[in-house]
Structure 1
Amino acid sequence: MDSGTWAEITRHIGRALGQPFAIDRQRSLGGGAANTSHRIEGQNRAFFVKLGSLAESDRFATEALALRELHRTHTLKVPEAICWGTSDRVSYLVMDFLELGGAPAGGPQLLGEQLAAMHRHTSDRFGWELNNTIGASPQQNSWSDDWVSFFRDQRLGFQLRLARRNGYRGAWLEEAERLGDRLSAFFRDYQPEPSVLHGDLWSGNYGYDRDGNPTIFDPALYYGDREADLAMTELFGGFPAQFYRSYNDAYPLDAGYAQRKVLYNLYHLLNHLNIFGSGYMGQVQRSVSQCLGFLS
């Protein structure tokens, strides 16, 4: 990247901080052909900078606004979004750099307690003011008063339509579409509140800072059933047992969660199928069959 772009980013950081800023040290943290990340330091402060094409500008903006939405809950620590924008042929997002360390004693318990506190921050509707992304896929967040229709149309249905566009066919897809027509059966005795969600809460998107504080990052935020966040934590290996005990002590889960978590994780498995390919087909098919089995 040319020096002019870094000069523009430096000026933007200074405007955001309300004082002049100069880069003393800069280090590339890697990335692919389209996106790179960097650590910059100056005035005894370190920042994490994401750089991408101009096409990434909306994605960076929604990530920044999601971080600010989570920060306003005053629960779990999130990196502060400093500034974002475009310069020449690139877009950028500047955040505080989080120095992560190992899990301290009691860390998983505190993570569970603080996530439960975060989930108590609610909206009057499901969705969010902005559409964003889940991994590399678009994520629709149009406001809705009804959780079942929101999840059917903007989560499960969206991924199934995307799977068809990607060329997937077969009985499993037709069964999944029929499942969408029967979603209300999972909610006969359960009415979720629109809790603020991280939206993509797997083990790669949380950690602990050097003071032992749990922190979350890379959100796919929206307001939805808090069980959807908990379900995601169980999808790829799970979080420590202490996390689940402390969360449930602070904000007990409904008994129907054991079934609904399979339904919620079907959304993420379909997303992985659409992004990464047929290696996720077996898990998707098993999840569809399991969900239908709950209804038989």
Structure 2
Amino acid sequence: MRPDQEQLDAPLAAALCEAISVGTGSPANIDSLTEITGGSISRALMLASAGERYFVKLNDAKLADMFAAEADGLRALAACPALRVPRVVGYGVSGRQAYLLLEYLPLQALRTGQQGAKAGHALAALHRQRGPQYGWHRDNFIGSTVQHNAEHRTWPFFFAHRRLLPQLELARRHAQYNRLIADGERLAGKLAALFVDHHPQPSLLHGDLWHGNAATDQTGTLTLFDPAVHFGDREADLAMSELFGGFPDSFYAGYREAWPLSDGYEQRKTLYNLYHVLNHLNLFGSGYLRQAERMVATLLAEIGC
């Protein structure tokens, strides 16, 4: 084993080399291995082999399904020619480690002006890929939380039963969240009232579209990664992109130029972002409680409850 391979045990190094060999058709060795930033959940490495670079994510073997779901989502996004998506080279388990091996892409932050508008057009192109109903053929993950995707033909039902209620059920373990849970369940039961005049098509969504999961490649093409894909209301992607900021105004202008939004988006944005705030509440604690409570109260007031 070379000194720069010491960060990996021999079986894992062999598994990664095998995945590269299958993908390239040639024998592979690890020439270098560099620890890089790649998110808060998994360890990330850049692997070099025969002049090519690869992005490696590692985690506990019990989280292998998270990597399988990510690979599935990346392949779905890659079907949209307007996007750049890292190619999936391989994934699996070696001993106590799960791994995901991807093409390494040099990335740049989204810029303003024409590049931002081009990225907005690309997202609209992704959303024009339609599904037969809302959901996905498998569950996946939003962060480290299971995201339930059992398909349904009705969007308000899907969002209530696959998004809000599972998050509220996770929150139930915290006694101080009782008011939020009661009001949230009441909102879920009345959700159809927010969709009287809005009947979205099932668009292919990235599903976790904050600025940390979007960039551009060297040609300026919108590049997406770390997805939580499903078919849903396209506004849900746009809503999350606004939740933490980081996308230029030209991105939204470009999107609206390609595909204008319907009336009532600002109201629905609060609903769609409530899902992510609840998830942050469940993952990171009570710092998100007041924000979630305010969002639920706003939405209940909108429907007269």
TM-score by length of 2: 0.92
1:72-98 CA distances to partner (integer Å, 9 max, x unpaired)? Answer: 122221111111111122111000111
Q: Please give the alpha-carbon distance, in whole angstroms, between the structure 2 residues aligned to 1:34 and 1:181.
A: 33
Q: Is the 8 A contact 2:110 2:247 kept in 1?
A: no
Identify if the C-alpha distance between structure 1 residues 44 and 31 changes in structure 2 by more than 3 Å, giving closer, same or farther. closer
| Corresponding residue number in structure 2 for 1:250 | 258
Query: Is 1:119 equivalent to 2:111 in the alignment?
Result: no
Q: Please give the alpha-carbon distance, in whole angstroms, between the structure 2 residues aligned to 1:103 and 1:239.
A: 7
TM-superposed CA distance for 1:106, in Å, is 1.8
Query: Is 1:199 equivalent to 2:195 in the alignment?
Result: no
TM-superposed CA distance for 1:43, in Å, is 2.4
Q: Is the 8 A contact 2:214 2:222 kept in 1?
A: yes
Residue of structure 2 aligned with 1:16, choices 23, 28, 39? 23
| Corresponding residue number in structure 1 for 2:99 | 92
Aligned AA for 2:273?
N
Residue of structure 1 aligned with 2:286, choices 272, 278, 288? 278
| Corresponding residue number in structure 2 for 1:215 | 223
Query: Is 1:3 equivalent to 2:10 in the alignment?
Result: yes
TM-superposed CA distance for 1:25, in Å, is 1.7
Identify if the C-alpha distance between structure 1 residues 102 and 230 changes in structure 2 by more than 3 Å, giving closer, same or farther. closer
TM-superposed CA distance for 1:31, in Å, is 7.4
Q: Is the 8 A contact 2:19 2:89 kept in 1?
A: no
Residue of structure 1 aligned with 2:49, choices 13, 27, 42? 42
| Corresponding residue number in structure 2 for 1:178 | 186
Query: Is 1:137 equivalent to 2:127 in the alignment?
Result: no
TM-superposed CA distance for 1:102, in Å, is 4.1
Deviates more, 1:129-138 or 1:94-103: 94-103
Identify if the C-alpha distance between structure 1 residues 163 and 229 changes in structure 2 by more than 3 Å, giving closer, same or farther. same
SS at match of 1:234: helix
TM alignment of 1:142-157, pairs within 5 A: 142-157=150-165
Q: Please give the alpha-carbon distance, in whole angstroms, between the structure 1 residues aligned to 2:80 and 2:22.
A: 25
Q: Please give the alpha-carbon distance, in whole angstroms, between the structure 2 residues aligned to 1:47 and 1:9.
A: 10
Q: Please give the alpha-carbon distance, in whole angstroms, between the structure 1 residues aligned to 2:72 and 2:143.
A: 17
Q: Is the 8 A contact 2:110 2:248 kept in 1?
A: no
Residue of structure 1 aligned with 2:86, choices 71, 79, 82? 79
Q: Is the 8 A contact 1:206 1:214 kept in 2?
A: yes
TM-superposed CA distance for 1:142, in Å, is 0.5
Q: Which runs of 5+ in 2 are unaligned?
A: 1-7
Q: Is the 8 A contact 1:67 1:217 kept in 2?
A: yes
| Corresponding residue number in structure 2 for 1:293 | 301
Q: Please give the alpha-carbon distance, in whole angstroms, between the structure 1 residues aligned to 2:109 and 2:207.
A: 23
| Corresponding residue number in structure 2 for 1:268 | 276
Q: Is the 8 A contact 2:134 2:155 kept in 1?
A: yes
Identify if the C-alpha distance between structure 1 residues 31 and 265 changes in structure 2 by more than 3 Å, giving closer, same or farther. closer
Q: Please give the alpha-carbon distance, in whole angstroms, between the structure 1 residues aligned to 2:94 and 2:103.
A: 20
Q: Please give the alpha-carbon distance, in whole angstroms, between the structure 1 residues aligned to 2:115 and 2:159.
A: 32
Q: Is the 8 A contact 1:166 1:274 kept in 2?
A: no
TM-score by length of 1: 0.95
Q: Is the 8 A contact 2:172 2:178 kept in 1?
A: no
| Corresponding residue number in structure 2 for 1:57 | 64
Q: Please give the alpha-carbon distance, in whole angstroms, between the structure 1 residues aligned to 2:39 and 2:198.
A: 44
Q: Please give the alpha-carbon distance, in whole angstroms, between the structure 2 residues aligned to 1:161 and 1:170.
A: 11
Deviates more, 1:102-111 or 1:212-221: 102-111
Q: Please give the alpha-carbon distance, in whole angstroms, between the structure 2 residues aligned to 1:79 and 1:33.
A: 19
Aligned AA for 2:254?
S
| Corresponding residue number in structure 1 for 2:32 | 25
SS at match of 2:59: strand
